Structure 1
Amino acid sequence: MKQRAGYRHRRRSANLRYRAPRSDNRIRPEGWLAPSVRHRVDTTVSLVNRFRRYAPVTEVHLESVSFDSHSLSVGKQLGGAEYPNGTLAGTDARAHLLSARGRVCAYCGATGVPLNIDHIHPVSRGGSSRLSNLVLACAPCNQAKSSTPVSQFLADRPGLLAEILAQTRTPLCDAAVMNSTRLRLVKALGALGPSAHAWPGGRTHRNRTAMGLDKTHTIDALAVGDLDRENGGKIVRVPTHVLVVKATGRGSYARTTPDRFGFPRLHRARIKQHFGYVTGDLVHATVPTGKWAGVWRGRVSVRARGQHSITTSTGRINVSHRNLRLVQRGDGYAYDTRQESVSPPSEKSG
């Protein structure tokens, strides 16, 4: 255990400058965002800066929308005393579940036994403690399900699975992220140089419906802003292929690869480049013979011995560095294209 703790401590402190201890009750600065949320703002700003290199961008238009997470959790527009009280006013989660769904195990139907609160989508797999994600389960069912996905746990009972999934609702993670980053994003884009204009979501909806377009993220981006239809303004063309950019990072500072128990399984080399390639580079591989004979394309994961690994659409393959050709240096992003299946614009009247 001490050896495992030592490896964990080193992973946290390696390659970090010295910083004096600070109190745990310090106040976060104004505009602070969690790193998992802040990277969305930083990634957007980075892509806008990249576009400015290739095109004369003079204005940036974005949709700034605020979501009412309380109304979304209930599933209807709240008003009056409904809004400040909420679903659990005067009670708690256990009492609400017992009164709303009866003292019955959701998985086996047992009654008259002690019941536990179980997460339909386990917390360890990204589930939340939202009320719609909670059910009552007896101790044997709760222990048997554990962190197993509910679709796998109830695979042999599709009717019960559909009944339980019907009570779940869309997670509010995306709405919370939008509420946290919208003002910060407007401020960050406005500081780049081009004029940044924020528009409400209602205007985007009116522009899109007036042009008779389907709802997709790409179409919403085209419909953002002031579309002066009275003077002939319209959307005349929609893209058929869309560039998809995903942040992948630039590697890790970890020097050891642990197993599932936390003990070191192998030590990573401090040298990042091997035989001219770095992990994350996009490469083209031509394998003449062997198990993976053929032509492949994907991101490479380098090895010191020269037998690199490539992630392809069908899985991972091992290829010698002699059979590789560099296509693009890894820059922390993964690029792909997808087809945009939307109908052409047809302006509506009225």
Structure 2
Amino acid sequence: MVRRTPFTIQLLYDSPEYTQVITLGVDAGSKVVGLSATTKKKELFVSEITLRDDIPELLSTRRQNRRARRNRLRYRMARFLNRTASKKEGWLAPSVKRKIDSHLKVIENVHRILPISRIVIETASFDIQKIRNPEISGTEYQQGEQLGFWNTREYVLWRDNHECQHCHGKSKDIILNVHHKESRKTGGDSPGNLVTLCETCHKSHHAGGIQLKLTPNKSYRHASFMGIMRWYVYSSLQELYPEVSMTYGYITKNNRIRNNIEKTHSADAYCISGNLNAIRNDEIYNQAFKRKHNRQIHKSNFLKGGKKKLNQSAYEVKGFRLFDHVRYKDEDCFIFGRRTSGYFDLRKLDGSIIHRSANFKEIKLLKRQNTILIERKGCNGVLL
């Protein structure tokens, strides 16, 4: 036995060189990836993988802390353009690169347990300007919504008619501010994340005096990710594997509707593989990428007395680590939280709680933590 989940054995004797033709369908995505390995007769492996989505916020926090060290704690002269050498041709943002690497990693894991003959991948592209404005056409693509304005702030004030969007002028305050609906860390400085507020309402909101009732910002981040990722993933697979081809969303949708198949990432991957007469597998493997350890040693805010609180817990508590795969009373689950006293927060990958404070004596270790957590479910969602 070489792997517990999915259960994999390696023969100790030679076997015939013949291997059946297996096609791996890949439904690429920015949040979830679907995989389905099929032959003409049977679906052998099916999985849905949840990708990490915390990279932008972690990088923003790191940048914030770094600037605080350089400016507030100890001054160091600014060094401009000190990172241009690292941004060579083909450079990708860490958040995008992480998602691409995750696609390649899960596909490689399938190759380790099955003799994949062919890979078929569906990658989507989105016209974000068309999504925002269905009437756009021709030269309008080159004329953005901020055309003719000096900066984003001037555009937002004009868009909101130079009026506070909370009190609509009732405060009689003539000073106007531009407020971020969502934190700048995750929402950015795009016009959709900005709104006009008078200074009275702005200060009152940040002091906790009023609650703003604003339309939430509609994010197109994942659509942008897919536009960048699609060719990088496809070209990387072509370099690694001999037979790789691409399909399109309208073909997948047509196959799914004609065969009366439900709309899920794993079902789309099954349709992408092309073996639509293959018997569907009753078991699906749910996978999730997790960060194994927090590298930030101390919390950002000081405690009373000028002390900094540690931000890291012990690597092992009673012999268990964060995200270890364990068994508790005949149920397989993962450690999502720990206490030094030996009590653990146990959950499934979908977030369902098994026990908020289970004693370590009642837990049995099944598999050590990994960057990819995996659990097996039946077709009706029951864990096996």
TM value normalised by structure 1: 0.68
**Cα gap change, 1:51/1:25 in structure 2, threshold over 3 Å: closer, same or farther?**
closer
User: 1:137 aligned to 2:197?
Assistant: yes
Give the secondary-structure state (helix, strand or coil) at the position aligned to 2:245: strand
Letter of the structure 1 residue corresponding to residue 110 of structure 2: F
**Cα gap change, 1:89/1:235 in structure 2, threshold over 3 Å: closer, same or farther?**
farther
**Cα gap change, 1:143/1:216 in structure 2, threshold over 3 Å: closer, same or farther?**
farther
Letter of the structure 2 residue corresponding to residue 195 of structure 1: E
Match of 1:176? Answer: 224
Letter of the structure 2 residue corresponding to residue 310 of structure 1: D
Letter of the structure 2 residue corresponding to residue 205 of structure 1: K
Aligned residue pairs total 293
CA RMSD, Structure 1 to Structure 2 (Å): 3.7
User: 1:334 aligned to 2:373?
Assistant: yes
Once the two structures are TM-superposed, the CA of residue 85 in structure 1 deviates from its matched residue by 0.8
How does 1:91-170 map onto structure 2 within 5 Å?
91=149, 92-110=151-169, 113-124=174-185, 126-146=186-206, 153-154=211-212, 161=213, 164-165=214-215, 170=218
Task: Verify the 8 A CA contact 1:31 1:184 in the aligned structure 2.
Answer: no
**Cα gap change, 1:279/1:169 in structure 2, threshold over 3 Å: closer, same or farther?**
closer
Aligned mate of 1:265, from 282, 285, 309: 309
CA–CA distance in structure 2, aligned partners of residues 241 and 128 of structure 1 = 40
CA–CA distance in structure 1, aligned partners of residues 276 and 354 of structure 2 = 44
User: 1:195 aligned to 2:243?
Assistant: yes
Task: Determine what percentage of the aligned residue pairs are the same residue.
Answer: 20
CA–CA distance in structure 2, aligned partners of residues 80 and 96 of structure 1 = 23
CA–CA distance in structure 1, aligned partners of residues 205 and 278 of structure 2 = 53
Task: Verify the 8 A CA contact 2:317 2:342 in the aligned structure 1.
Answer: no
User: 1:277 aligned to 2:320?
Assistant: yes
User: 1:28 aligned to 2:64?
Assistant: no
Give the secondary-structure state (helix, strand or coil) at the position aligned to 1:153: coil
Letter of the structure 1 residue corresponding to residue 232 of structure 2: R
CA–CA distance in structure 2, aligned partners of residues 76 and 240 of structure 1 = 41
Task: Verify the 8 A CA contact 2:177 2:196 in the aligned structure 1.
Answer: yes
CA–CA distance in structure 1, aligned partners of residues 264 and 110 of structure 2 = 22
Give the secondary-structure state (helix, strand or coil) at the position aligned to 1:243: strand
**Cα gap change, 1:41/1:209 in structure 2, threshold over 3 Å: closer, same or farther?**
same
Q: Which consecutive unaligned segments of at least 5 residues does structure 1 have?
A: 10-21, 155-160, 228-232, 287-293, 342-350
Match of 1:59? Answer: 118
Give the secondary-structure state (helix, strand or coil) at the position aligned to 1:277: coil
**Cα gap change, 1:259/1:212 in structure 2, threshold over 3 Å: closer, same or farther?**
same
Q: Which consecutive unaligned segments of at least 5 residues does structure 2 have?
A: 1-64, 70-80
Letter of the structure 1 residue corresponding to residue 121 of structure 2: L
Letter of the structure 2 residue corresponding to residue 332 of structure 1: T
Match of 1:12? Answer: none
Hey, which of these two has a bigger chunk of helix by percent? Answer: 1
CA–CA distance in structure 2, aligned partners of residues 321 and 42 of structure 1 = 35
Give the secondary-structure state (helix, strand or coil) at the position aligned to 1:260: strand
The structure showing larger relative contact order (alpha-carbon pairs under 8 Å, at least 6 residues apart) is: 2
Match of 1:291? Answer: none
